[in-house]
Copies of this chain bind each other. A is one copy, B any other.
Amino acid sequence: MTDAAPGPLAIICGAGKFPFAVADAVIRRGRRVVLFALAGWADPEDVARYPHHWGRLAQLGRFRRLARQDGCRDVVFIGALTRPSIAKLRVDLTTLRLLPRIIAAYRGGDDHLLSGVGRIFEHLGFRLVGAHEVAPEILVPEGRLGRHAPTARDQADIAVGQALIAAMGRFDVGQAVVVAANRVIAVEAAEGTDRMLARIAELRRDGKLHVPDHCGVVVKAPKPTQDRRFDLPSVGARTVEAAAAAGLAGVAVEAKGAITADLQDLIRAADAAGLFLIGIPPAVPGSVP
Contacts and interface: CB of A to CB of B under 8 A. Distances in A.
A63 to B, nearest CB: 22
Q: Taking the full assembly, how many copies of this chain does it contain?
A: 2
A172 B190 contact: no
Contacts of A94: none
Given A82-B207, A84-B210, A209-B83, A172 B183 contact: yes
A190 B209 contact: yes
* Interface size class, chain A: 35 or more
B191 A174 contact: no
Contacts of A71: none
A129 interface: no
A48 interface: no
B210 A83 contact: yes
Nearest to A179: B171
A171 B191 contact: no
Given A83-B210, A167-B167, A191-B203, A107 B172 contact: no
27 contacts: A82-B207, A82-B208, A86-B210, A107-B181, A108-B182, A160-B171, A167-B167, A167-B168, A168-B168, A168-B187, A171-B184, A172-B183, A173-B184, A173-B187, A174-B184, A178-B189, A184-B189, A186-B190, A186-B191, A187-B187, A187-B188, A190-B208, A190-B209, A191-B199, A192-B208, A195-B199, A199-B199
